[in-house]
Structure 1
Amino acid sequence: MGFETGVRQGIADYSKAIQLAPNDADAYVYRGYSWESKREYDKAIADYSKAIQLHPNDAAAYVCRGYSWDSKREYDKAIADYSKAIQLHPNDANAYFNRGNCWAKKTEYAKAITDFSEAIRLDPNNVEAYCNRGHCWRAKHDQEKANADFNEAIRLNPKLAVRFLN
């Protein structure tokens, strides 16, 4: 079975699960993942929103919806969802990392650096966070701090770091 066929089957299976158990928030989240993998972000957002309606304290659903908003370049909505996820689960390095990416895309580098720093504090081996924070330092014309982050990324994982530094 190919990827596209598997995604279609997943959507069908989760849709059936939702018919059988319409209050199962996880089924909406998983179907949302499937829509997201097809780049059908509006459908993914609708499913994540339903999951949030059913379980408003599910930080992961906010992160997922934030990612879909980010993919649609609706950064303020993504930032709001990542912020809610952080409020619910303050130790989620991924939420800080993703929110940092949105701040960087909005060229709000100081806020991005703050979020990447927190992501690194929570996950000190996050090569992407070092690379992205380094790019923000460089955008702020602080090459010394940028180089320190790039060097740390390379130290942690030379092959992966090169991918993000180009």
Structure 2
Amino acid sequence: MHFLYKGYAYEMISDCKQAIEDFEKAISLGENKNAELYGHKARCENRSKNYDEGFQDALKALNIDKKNAYAFFELAYAQYGLKKYSDSVESYTKVLQFSPNDGVAFHNRGLALVFLNKIPSACKDFQRSSEIGYFDSKKNWMNIVNDLYKKFFAGPYKLEHIELLSQNSISEKVLVFLYIILIDFENVGTLTI
């Protein structure tokens, strides 16, 4: 148990290298049935950008405890780092089934959705994350919308309701409009809000 708690302490001060070493010692001394330990080791591996190891440790945690939201979170994080965006979305969805108010999970799922070019769904996740109180999500969400505006409306097309882009929420109609722009740029001039 000594190395387990030592690993937690090192994780708390962001010394992931030492935390991983201590977690590995704890495992070698018999803590190999501890889902929490594997989840924390996965987190340290992910924070160190060792996504393959983080992925494997998260799977070990889930083999021990199939309802471990923390392990699903780390699995999703590793999948994202490995560019397995569809898998990451699926795993973050599992996290949200166990923890429906996890703002970071909504935010991270939104990031994966961006890479899958599912912008309206990503914006909805960023909005939900922002409503829960995760500030980074609002910033990313508004950056996507502002980038879309600059890309598609800086030319001859003007959006009359620009104030919608600076509000805390974007209507479903605007999200659909932006999505249509992404898939049908040629006809953007004929669209109205």
Give distance in 1, aligned partners of 2:16 and 2:122: 33
The answer as to whether partners of 2:110 and 2:126 remain within 8 angstroms in 1 is: yes
Higher helix proportion (structure 1 or 2): 1
Residue number in structure 1 paired with 2:177? none
Match of 1:163 in 2: none
Specify the SS of the correspondent of 2:167: helix
Would you say the 8 A contact 2:43–2:54 is kept in 1? yes
The residue type paired with residue 25 of structure 1 is: A
Q: Would you say the 8 A contact 1:25–1:54 is kept in 2? A: yes
Query: Whose radius of gyration is greater, 1 or 2?
Result: 2
Is residue 83 of structure 2 the alignment partner of residue 73 of structure 1?
yes
CA shift for structure 1 position 127: 2.5
Length-normalised TM-score, structure 1:
0.77
SS in structure 1 at match of 2:32: coil
The CA deviation string for residues 11-70 of structure 1, in whole angstroms up to 9 with x for no partner, is 221112123121111111122122223321111100011111111111121111111111
Quick check: 1:144 aligned with 2:144?
no
Of 7, 18, 23, 2:27 maps to 18
Change (3 A) 1:9 1:129: closer
- 1:134–1:145: 8 Å Cα contact kept in structure 2? no
Q: 1:42 to 1:134 in 2, by over 3 A?
A: same
1:56 counterpart residue number: 66
Structure 2: how far apart are the matches of 1:30 and 1:59? 12
Gaps of 5+ in 2: 1-14, 150-158, 169-193
Tell me by how many angstroms 1:140 deviates.
4.8
Give deviations 1:83-116, integer Å, cap 9, x for gaps: 0000111111111111011112222110011111
The answer on whether the counterparts of 1:133 and 1:146 sit within 8 Å (CA) in structure 2 is no
Which aligned pairs between 1:119-158 and structure 2 lie closer than 5 A?
Answer: 119-123=129-133, 126-141=134-149, 143-149=162-168
Matched residue, 2:127:
117
Of the three residues 47, 50, 56, the one matched with 2:57 is 47
The amino acid that maps onto 1:42 is D
| Structure 2 CA distance for partners of 1:69 and 1:75, relative to 1, 3 Å | same
Which amino acid letter does the alignment assign opposite residue 71 of structure 1? G
Aligned length: 143
- TM-score under structure 2 normalisation? 0.67
Cα deviation per residue 1:94-143 (whole Å; 9 max; x = unaligned)?
Answer: 111110111122221100111112112221xx331111111232355475
Aligned CA RMSD, in angstroms, stands at 2.0
**In the alignment, is the contact (CA less than 8 A) between 2:19 and 2:41 conserved in 1?**
yes
The letter of the residue matching 2:165 is: A
Structure-1 residue corresponding to 2:182:
none
